[in-house]
Structure 1
């Protein structure tokens, strides 16, 4: 878009924006506002859109008039919660951004273990509220992540084996649908919508309130990070594959290869980290299990001991600062065979730069016992979930580092199962590529999601996402 087009865009729909200003309690930031550049930014620095206006909601009551404006004008709408999604769907060129980031209240009822969360809250907000009660909602792995997007797409994190996905703990949601119905969704009320919200992303409405059932959590938990230099990677990953074959649910683990910042004291070369969080009060059993792994694959360095849950959840935050240029790919794996590990180690051995790597999330446990089709999450049988990621700052590196992630994904594809985790999909899998959603969910789940789209957003107002178009489009 050239400068003349942008000037025309910036002066379009002045009456509608003035009307909206009178109807919302929050603020509207337009291109001539000194706050505009900050307001339009999302976490992924590769996404550089210039919206017509950013509506910073002052309350959930601001959702309805913004949806009304988008319907009336046809302007593209982006809905932003925490704004941390790698695909950058929280902003849109020439449209309206509904920014819910100021709505971060978290209410905890310790007796019922129910946690009610506003749509702008982050993982850190929830952990800060629940930890004093010895409770935790299963969430992700970086505390700046927004709860809304994480939940609607799935929620893979440090409690996946012991407790499942974040969406498995969602018990109710209040929603303003694409048709502007105000609905409460749970197992008894609007159960079809409730099913779709748990994995189908933001395709059906704007969730204004999430209610989760938390789990009791040992305070502190037992955390472990075993560090391996390059020459030990293959042996350590093979040991990890054997170790994870028969673990109890309470042992959650992730294997990662990446370069750490100098402050971690492990040098500039990439390292393999076998990370584990044991969430049972039987600490001795957790230590015995970790010793079994350590004995088979002695680490070069290690950190093992009690840790407060919020500290564990935020330990890697500084690796992923806002504004990083980022690209991700993911795959569901039935097993860590020698062939898979050889591929991963071979490609990871090429890494010579900070910010790119992969995680192998050990699945199974509670996650795998949720029946297929009980939620819209696409695959419950995968034993491991691979996330290949890149983070960098220099735009000149965009082509090289996105190509690396694609190359790793292509190399493991012969060994994968069906299904893609939409929260791990990069920017090219957006509204312009609805076929990506079909491939991510599979035909049966996708067909159910299309039926919900026809019911709750037939005009596809909510299309700035991993989009499921209505059947009429």
Structure 2
């Protein structure tokens, strides 16, 4: 371990050669008393980094540039105890902070800050226990890492569907997976959370140890402290089948028909799809992901998709990680971005037509305002997807009687000046699709929106429904000093 005093060496060297404005900024940051205090108070397992250090750059960076902010410093805690020390310092001084796991949050300020950025990258363990059929997974990982570590054991967990998604935010927000029809949401498979409370106390939260807090952490995001490790149920995993097909504009009616038919008629728990309508380079198209939890799907399930003339196809029997990595590479990395969502109960032909119309309309309009990518992810699941948890087992979903199918709206653009326009467009588009679904007869007036897709100003009742009072009471118990309100997110 490098002595902590040497961690300032790189920034200090840069100071000697910096221009005057940069010099003044560096001096101000290096002398920041909060960062210095954290550095002095934590153990040698933890390090503090400053602008001018590549480790700082890596810590603050996000795939969406609009989710990146210049922090006073970044801190890489190496122990849960050190996380508690950090929370104690930022809490007692009222210093804004953020916690970054995989860095996939699209909402500005949810995992970034102008204050102290806590980067969880050192929490990178994957420990499989065959006896309990569980895996302990660190909060700094992405799901690709977890799948790779578990593959030699021929087991898997219920995690992200595409490459590059972080474990922590995904799990704390709910977690829709390729395995959800069979196993539920990711939160339905968590058996324990290692949590650093805002007070600094490190606890292992289970259904037996603190049922209220266990409930709140399952969908309640970062309101109750910092989760450092998750204990997840594991399940046998062999080869799977599927991958990516891309279709061009002339074939989109056939894709819509195939998607509607799949959503309405396929009941095989092992089968799943994501149909993504994209507007790129002036044309709509579809990126189609197919999944079957086995080396070969029964005939008929995916035949409609395979019969449509395609631009590209990468579909085969493969290992699970290979399938996850077959998802489209993030061509918008470094652009600004936002998610928004609608929860539906059905993907009907009418709704799919509306989604295509929204793709074309906003793609055409926003391309004149630095829009580089407009995307709508259609995600059908079986109506029984919420049946894997008890009626009141988690903060999200607030009710489990009706399965909710998330629609993810994603816009990417280049210039900060266009932020408000794109955010408002995402709101308008979601509202239009919701209104159409209600007019069609879908009972979604008060349907909860998936927290991981919800835009930043979604009201709490829109995420947690009738659970809001209980969650607010829990927040008051666990965090009476409102330490976690110094971080971004959906605040209780």
**TM-score after normalising by structure 1:** 0.86
**Is the deviation greater in 321-330 or in 363-372?**
363-372
Contact 1:123–1:145 (CA<8 Å) still a contact in 2?
yes
* 1:330 corresponds to which of 341, 361, 374: 341
Corresponding position of 2:18: none
Corresponding position of 2:113: 92
Corresponding position of 1:420: 449
Distance 1:78 1:241 in 2: 41
Distance 1:135 1:338 in 2: 37
Corresponding position of 1:173: 193
Per-residue deviation, 1:372: 3.7
Corresponding position of 1:349: 360
Corresponding position of 1:460: 482
Aligned pairs for 1:94-113 (under 5 A) are 95-113=115-133
Contact 2:243–2:326 (CA<8 Å) still a contact in 1?
no
Contact 2:143–2:160 (CA<8 Å) still a contact in 1?
yes
Q: Deviations over 1:151-191 (max 9, x none)?
A: 00111232222222111111111111122232211121111
* 1:278 corresponds to which of 292, 296, 318: 292
Distance 1:272 1:18 in 2: 51
Per-residue deviation, 1:393: 4.1
Give the 3 Å change call, closer, same or farther, for CA 14–216 of structure 1 in structure 2.
Answer: same
Distance 1:421 1:123 in 2: 19
Distance 2:195 2:377 in 1: 33
Corresponding position of 1:68: 88
**Is the deviation greater in 51-60 or in 118-127?**
51-60
Distance 2:158 2:194 in 1: 20
**Is the deviation greater in 59-68 or in 227-236?**
227-236
Corresponding position of 2:147: 127
* 1:410 corresponds to which of 431, 448, 451: 431
1:364 matched to 2:378? The reply is no
Aligned pairs for 1:35-434 (under 5 A) are 35-88=55-108, 89-93=110-114, 95-219=115-239, 221-246=240-265, 247-258=267-278, 269-280=283-294, 283-285=296-298, 287-291=299-303, 293-294=304-305, 298-301=308-311, 302-316=313-327, 318-319=329-330, 322-350=333-361, 351=363, 354-364=372-382, 367-369=385-387, 370-378=389-397, 380=400, 381-395=402-416, 398=419, 401-414=422-435, 415=437, 417=444, 418-426=447-455, 429=456, 433=457
Distance 2:34 2:147 in 1: 42
Give the 3 Å change call, closer, same or farther, for CA 270–217 of structure 1 in structure 2.
Answer: farther
Contact 2:99–2:111 (CA<8 Å) still a contact in 1?
yes
- Provide the secondary structure at the position in 2 that maps to 1:46: helix
Give the 3 Å change call, closer, same or farther, for CA 6–87 of structure 1 in structure 2.
Answer: farther
Contact 1:201–1:465 (CA<8 Å) still a contact in 2?
no
- Provide the secondary structure at the position in 1 that maps to 2:99: strand
Per-residue deviation, 1:390: 1.7
Give the 3 Å change call, closer, same or farther, for CA 314–228 of structure 1 in structure 2.
Answer: same
Per-residue deviation, 1:87: 1.7
Unaligned segments of structure 2, at least 5 residues: 1-20, 439-443
Runs of 4+ in 1 over 6 A off after TM superposition: 2-9
- Provide the secondary structure at the position in 2 that maps to 1:339: helix
Q: Deviations over 1:302-346 (max 9, x none)?
A: 443212211111223622564331111101011223432232121
- Provide the secondary structure at the position in 2 that maps to 1:347: helix
Corresponding position of 1:436: 459
Per-residue deviation, 1:124: 1.2
Per-residue deviation, 1:419: 1.0
Contact 2:238–2:319 (CA<8 Å) still a contact in 1?
no
Distance 1:294 1:80 in 2: 38
Per-residue deviation, 1:41: 2.5
Contact 2:263–2:346 (CA<8 Å) still a contact in 1?
no
Q: Deviations over 1:233-292 (max 9, x none)?
A: 2343233222222321111111111257xxxxxx984322342211146x352x43222x
Q: Deviations over 1:396-452 (max 9, x none)?
A: 6545544443332121121262111111134xx1xxx5x62232211x111121111
Give the 3 Å change call, closer, same or farther, for CA 33–244 of structure 1 in structure 2.
Answer: closer
Give the 3 Å change call, closer, same or farther, for CA 244–164 of structure 1 in structure 2.
Answer: same
* 1:18 corresponds to which of 37, 61, 65: 37
